[in-house]
């Protein structure tokens, strides 16, 4: 079962409920990505041998992000608040 937790930046207003890296449920596998177009941190499904794309704008201008990396918006500290926001399959 996958899970989403809340991440919040200490320097800017970025906040996201994401897995914080690779995650897997019963039926799908996800990665956490930052869309440079939408300025959105989100989890996207892993498709067989296809590049990652933004779930909102469908751009492929995304980069993988994992917990403990700097905030992709401002390079500040993006911290796990330990608030569980969702369990998913």
What would the pLDDT profile of 3-23 be if each residue is shown by its tens digit? 899 999 999 989 999 999 999
Residue 77's pLDDT is 96
Domain residue ranges of the chain, discontinuous segments joined by +: 2-77
Res. 1 pLDDT band, cuts 50 70 90: confident
Average the pLDDT over 83-89 and give the result: 74
pLDDT in tens, 32-48: 999 999 999 999 999 87
Torsion of CA 27, 8, 84, 44, to 10 degrees: -10
Distance CA 79, CA 89 (A): 24
pLDDT in tens, 46-81: 987 678 999 999 999 999 999 999 999 999 999 999
Residue 48's pLDDT is 73
Distance CA 30, CA 76 (A): 24
């Amino acid at each position: 079962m996958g899970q989403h937790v809340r991440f919040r930046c200490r320097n800017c207003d970025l906040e996201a409920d994401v897995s914080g890296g690779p995650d897997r449920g019963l039926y799908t596998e996800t990665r956490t990505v930052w869309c440079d177009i939408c300025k959105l941190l989100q989890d996207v499904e892993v498709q067989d041998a296809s590049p990652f794309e933004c779930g909102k704008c469908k751009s492929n201008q995304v980069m993988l992000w994992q917990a403990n990396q700097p905030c992709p918006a401002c390079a500040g500290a993006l911290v796990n608040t330990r608030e569980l926001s969702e369990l998913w399959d």
